[in-house]
Structure 1
Amino acid sequence: MVTATATACGGTGTQTRADGTLSFTVAVVEPDLTTVPILAALDAVRREGHKVDVVELAEPELAVEGLAQGDYAISAEATGPALSAIEQGAPIKIIADAVGNQWALYGKPGITSCADLEGRPFGIFSQGAVATAIAKDWVGAECGAGERPRYLTIGGSDVRAQALASGEIDATPLEISDAVALESSGTSGLTKVVDFAETLPNLHPQTVYANSSFLSEHRPVAQAFVTALVREHARINADPQHLVDLVDTYLPEEDQEDVARVARRYSDAELFDAAALTRQNVQGTIDFFARAGVIGRGMTTRDAADLSFVREAA
């Protein structure tokens, strides 16, 4: 299980112990199904003798800040805040994929295109959320001049799913787990308007990133972690029950029946592939966030990522 022992930065950083093994801290953000393969990979590192503490944080910006300061060695969550920090000179590198683009836009009956959403209530989490950026990018590309939905900020993916089911909004981007929950609840007529994994194939909104000094000074340990994560993802794709088992181990409070349905969807879509990052799709991700106004233009894959770890693991 995850031990929630911190809500802000202030750790002691990575230390080398007397026997040559490391003691370091990894930050996770509100753990969910996408986090448990990372926790399993960290257990593989522990089995090599290293001491790994895991802290749970409320938002990715805190994890990125801790990485920049050297308090945390590794974290994994939203890519946007990491790119923003890298742009400002933070010593951070993206090293693997956490989960593929799992966002899709769902609408109530009759909503089939952007034109159907003009002036209609459209649920978003916040102006700075990646799902909001994805949705607005689609609106900008697909809607005609002056045709825009009416954006309503109403909470996380699960809250927006319920708002869609109850008719408070006409459309909203949802993660797989919340889309499956809607389907399981018997809500009828809701349609998938667009699958953003198909329209934005080079976007990787959730990645694994690390402190650059940790990567350079302790490469074998960083490599052991990435290799273990690649293997965990491969096991999930081969058998979604592995994800169910991981959730049972690390997040036992989750409903197992719901987890099994979501795990099958993740597996069918092959969204777990830590080694999926390439120069092309990292650059595509950078270009998306530049287009969304999260970062300026000009950043390259070399600036943002070290793909040598996934190449070696693969």
Structure 2
Amino acid sequence: MHARTRLRTALAALTVLTATACGGPGTHTRADGTLSFTVAVVEPDLTTVPILAALDAVRDRGHQVDVVELAEPELAVEGLAKGQYAISAEATGPALSAIDQGAPIRIIADAVGNQWALYGRPGVSSCEDLGGRPFGIFSEGAVATAIAKDWVGAECGGERPRYLTIGGSDVRAQALASGEIDATPLELSDAVSLEASGASGFTKVVDFAESLPDLHPQTVYANADFLGEHREVAQEFVTALVREHARITADPRRLVDLAQTHLPAEERADVARVARRYSDAKLFDAAALTSRNVQGTIDFFARAGVIGQGMTAKDAADLGFVEEASS
């Protein structure tokens, strides 16, 4: 089922909720005036680590923050719409789809910049080399698939690639290395792993951060009632995230150290390689969102058919948090 269809089904099943003075059923004001609220993360990876560190900073100010791990961004978005979760961060598309359907959700910061690039086997350097060839994708509703098909639509004048659904970015990297596919979009961490595996001759066909500079596919979003009633706490979180991202960009060893706390199963050497690339590319910048690139992101997802036409940056985002954090 397409991601937009799954989300529409989930939202249609919701009971219309009236926000309470506590900012939703998942948020409570404690006797001492501090808050208790829940944040949803989706299959935590290195891009989630700065968010978890920022939540620690919020806890240091006396608030109780519970974190739940979910398998799909649609589940997080559904919980945000219900008010079960105050904040989440992952794929932007499902959040925009929910907003398009009237859900009380607003984008408040960037989670990580556009880290997707298209990699090909030796000899693949353009779309012309991919006509009829196996092209790995995760699913029809995945953001990487939308990005890749947008590029194919713009660049391929003749025969299109043959799309194969074969799993996540790490699985597709392995399929590329073994010759099962000729090209696939990869996240930065999996591209680094591919390079570290000893595989040689693979080409970066297109860097989507360069070809789609206004696309921000992974953002932080929140329940709008929580933002309206507990703006100070939301600001504490965004400010902490902006500062954490700045620290990591200045010294990628910061991400390595944080990963030891929040993702202890990750190998330190592997994290160090990826952290350096994140730092060099300046992919961590929570305050990178502007009215222009939020609108560019909206326009991309409208072009991809994830949302309808007509949404504006003001409909989707509250940029006051990153503006305040950067002042």
Structure 2 length-normalised TM:
0.92
| Alignment match, 2:247 | 235
- 1:171-210 to 2 correspondence within 5 Å? 171-210=183-222
> Aligned to 1:79, which of 92, 103, 116?
92
The answer to whether structure 1 residue 104 and structure 2 residue 117 are counterparts is yes
What do residues 41-76 of structure 1 show as CA deviations (whole Å, max 9, x unaligned)?
000000000000000000000000000000000000
1:281-306 C-alpha deviation (Å, 9 max, x unpaired): 00000000000000011000000000
Aligned residue among 210, 215, 218 for 2:227: 215
CA distance in 2, matches of 1:89, 1:205: 20
Within 5 Å, give how 1:297-312 maps onto structure 2: 297-312=309-324
Please give the alpha-carbon distance, in whole angstroms, between the structure 2 residues aligned to 1:25 and 1:300: 28
Q: Secondary structure at the match of 2:80?
A: helix
How far apart are the structure 2 equivalents of 1:92 and 1:147?
Answer: 40
Structure 1 stretches of at least 4 aligned residues deviating more than 4 Å after TM superposition = none
Is 2:176 the counterpart of 1:153? no
Distance 1:114 1:166 in 2: 21
Within the alignment, does 1:49 sit opposite 2:62 as a pair? yes
CA distance in 1, matches of 2:167, 2:25: 34
CA displacement at 1:258 relative to structure 2: 0.6
**Structure 2 equivalent of residue 19 of structure 1:** 32
For each residue in 1:4-32, what CA deviation from the matched residue of structure 2 results, as whole angstroms up to 9, or x when unmatched? xxxx99x9410000000000000000000
CA distance in 2, matches of 1:83, 1:182: 32
Distance in 2, matches of 1:257 and 1:271, equals 20
Corresponding residue number in structure 2 for 1:4: none
CA distance in 2, matches of 1:181, 1:302: 38
Aligned pairs for 1:50-65 (under 5 A) are 50-65=63-78
RMSD: 1.2
Letter in 2 for 1:273: D
Is residue 38 from structure 1 mapped to residue 58 from structure 2 by the alignment? Answer: no
Amino acid of the residue matched to residue 184 of structure 2? T
Query: Which one-letter code corresponds to 1:60 in the other structure?
Result: P
Q: Residues of 2 paired with 1:188 and 1:42: CA distance? A: 40
Tell me the SS of whatever aligns to 1:27.
Answer: strand
**In the alignment, does 2:146 pair up with 1:133?**
yes
Question: Of 119, 124, 133, which residue of structure 1 is paired with 2:137?
Answer: 124
| Distance (whole Å) between structure 2 residues aligned to residue 111 and residue 238 of structure 1 | 35
Deviates more, 1:268-277 or 1:11-20: 11-20
1:133: Cα distance to partner? 0.2
Instruction: Give structure 1 stretches of 5+ with no counterpart.
Output: 1-7
User: Partners in 2 of 1:30 and 1:272 — Cα distance?
Assistant: 18
Kindly tell me the number of residue pairs found equivalent between the two proteins. 305
Q: Which residue of 2 aligns with 1:244?
A: 256
How far does the alpha carbon of each residue in 1:154-201 deviate from its partner, in whole angstroms, 9 at most, with x for none?
A: 000000000000000000000011000010010011110000000000
1:295 correspondence with 2:307:
yes
Counterpart CA distance in 2 for 1:77 and 1:58 is: 11
Query: Residue 260 of structure 1 aligns to a residue in which SS?
Result: helix
Q: Is the partner of 1:35 in helix, strand or coil?
A: helix
User: Alpha-carbon deviation of 1:147?
Assistant: 2.0
CA distance in 2 between counterparts of 1:187 and 1:292 reads: 33
Matched, 1:168 2:176: no
Q: 1:220-251 CA distances to partner (integer Å, 9 max, x unpaired)? A: 00000000000000000000000101111100
CA distance in 1, matches of 2:219, 2:121: 31
Partners of 2:238 and 2:292 in 1: CA distance: 20
1-structure distance, mates of 2:75, 2:104: 15
- Provide, for residues 190-215 of structure 1, a one-character-per-residue CA deviation record: whole Å limited to 9, x for no partner: 11000000000000000000000000
Extract unaligned runs of 5+ from structure 2.
Answer: 1-9, 15-23
- Counterpart of 2:291 in structure 1 is 279
Matching residue's letter, 1:137: D
Aligned equivalent of 1:5: none
In the TM superposition, what is the alpha-carbon distance from 1:309 to its structure 2 partner? 0.2
SS, match of residue 185 in structure 2: strand
